[in-house]
Amino acid sequence: MEFIKALNQTFATGKTQSLTWRREQLTALKNLLEENEQAIYQALEQDLSKCTFEAYMAEYAFVLSDINLFIKKLTQWAKPRRMATPLLALPGSSKLRPEPLGLVLIIGAWNYPIQLTLSPMIAAIAAGNTVVLKPSELAEKTSNLLAQLIPQYLDNSAIAVYEGGVDNTTALLKQRFDHIFYTGGKNVGKIVLRAASEHLTPVTLELGGKSPCIVDDDCDLKVTADRIIWGKFLNAGQTCVAPDYILVSRKQREPLILALQQALIKQYGPQPQLSDDYGRIINTQHVERLISYLDGQGDNIVCGGQSEIAEKYIAPTLVLNPALDSPIMQNEIFGPLLPIIEVENMQAAIAFIKAREKPLALYLFSKNRQLIKELSEKTSAGTLCVNDAVIFMINHHQPFGGVGESGLGAYHCQ
């Protein structure tokens, strides 16, 4: 691939190491966003029926805030840091010098197609790397827009967008990169890791899986329901850290279902299909996958269940006690279906989580400090979030990434 050769040559010149160049590129990316805000919202609307508020909050403003942070911190983060030196090595001195790796490949997923491509790209540029950006082909309009705008604003000798589907990604992965940053499902994550191993290329794998949500008897039920509904049905459930299922006691089960139904009406009205705030599924294949998860659930569906394939619509749906070996509990849902599983008590909830893969996010709604402490000590997850859902993603001060099957490495950390 000729363009890869050219990007490597650019890196070899040392051009991207200059802090001035990095700052210029970040500023150019900021201009790209600000001058094309409406076009971005339009592409997201076409791909996912994302409403403007969601598109602003979870994509546009998220990325803009990343750029501002990196511009502000660039000099400080790029500076060599003095390290301690042991007595025997004195009068020597030691420094840790941050340096770019070289050419970075970023493979993005379709659900937040601006955030998941540009956010890692900001970090790669700020660190002085050259970049190949591969947006997801499933969010086609956004991918096309990025491919059109990035060459207009950024340095083409150092930053390239490469669009396309599986064949193109497969071809890209045969090339040698100095880092690969992949966001998506675990099966392709394994393909990426295998390809990277050929060149001993380090990787960051931002994967997904089932993120559990425990609702304790001792919690503010109204606030809990509001926050779960917001976190779950944002982007029609197509969020890697959305609560995948709820664990709740028998006693709390009915009050919780009622509170969830009320929160749904409050946020999306009695007919979510008519709500401007409720998104659509990315494509008909995924609609059919999600509908198949409801096969045989019958009376377990306590709310929602409606769908319209032509409109890529699936209603916000609550499913009570689906069989644990059914597809809805065996796969990451990644859509607007929310199983509610009854457990004996909170100890059983903890055991339930420990018996499964380590999640990307783990949620607990509780006022019980002892339970919060116990859950944090006995379980492992990318992030444990207490008494809220999804919002932790905006915290730039903590790393974001999975553990075990939910991911390898992290970003948003220095």
Choosing from 39, 191, 303, 410, the residue that interacts with ligand NAD (CB under 6 A) is 191
Active-site pick, 140, 206, 332, 405: 206
Q: Does 170 bind ligand NAD (CB under 6 A)?
A: yes
**Site map for ligand NAD, 198-237, x if CB under 6 A?**
--------xxx-----------------------------
CB of 135 to ligand NAD, least distance (A): 7
CB of 28 to ligand NAD, least distance (A): 24
Choosing from 188, 225, 287, 294, the residue that interacts with ligand NAD (CB under 6 A) is 188
Q: Omega into 91 within 30° of 0, i.e. cis? A: yes
Residue 145 C-alpha from the chain's centroid: 20
206 is catalytic: yes
Residues between 98 and 137 with contacts to ligand NAD, criterion CB under 6 A:
107-111, 116, 134, 136-137
CB of 163 to ligand NAD, least distance (A): 9
Residues between 65 and 84 with contacts to ligand NAD, criterion CB under 6 A:
none
* Residues near 14 by beta carbon (within 8 Å), at least 6 away in sequence: none
240 is catalytic: yes
Q: How far is CA 393 from CA 55, 115, 164, 344, in A?
A: 15, 11, 28, 31
Would you say the C-alpha torsion 226, 304, 385, 373 has a positive or negative sign?
positive
CB of 3 to ligand NAD, least distance (A): 17
Residue of this chain nearest to ligand NAD (CB atom)? 208
Active-site pick, 240, 332, 385, 405: 240
d(CA 286, CA 335): 9
Q: What is the DSSP string of 103-170?
A: EEEEE--SSSTTHHHHHHHHHHHHTT-EEEEE--TTSHHHHHHHHHHHHHHS-TTTEEE---SHHHHH
CB closer to ligand NAD out of 185 and 269:
185
Q: Name the one residue in this structure whose structure tokens are 């295998």.
A: 194
CB of 81 to ligand NAD, least distance (A): 28
From start to end of 210-306, where are the E strands? 212-215, 245-249, 301-303
Stretch that binds ligand NAD, among 28-36, 182-190, 249-257, 316-324 (CB under 6 A): 182-190
Say if CB 359 and CB 211 are below 8 A apart: yes
Identify which of 363, 354, 323 has the alpha carbon closest to the alpha carbon of residue 339.
323
Choosing from 149, 332, 349, 390, the residue that interacts with ligand NAD (CB under 6 A) is 332
CB of 269 to ligand NAD, least distance (A): 27
CB closer to ligand NAD out of 193 and 348:
193
d(CA 96, CA 205): 25
CB closer to ligand NAD out of 206 and 216:
206
Q: Does 184 bind ligand NAD (CB under 6 A)?
A: yes
Radius of gyration of the chain (CA): 22
- Residues in the site for ligand NAD, rule: CB under 6 A? 107-111, 116, 134, 136-138, 165-166, 169-170, 183-185, 188, 191, 206-208, 240, 332, 334, 360, 402, 407
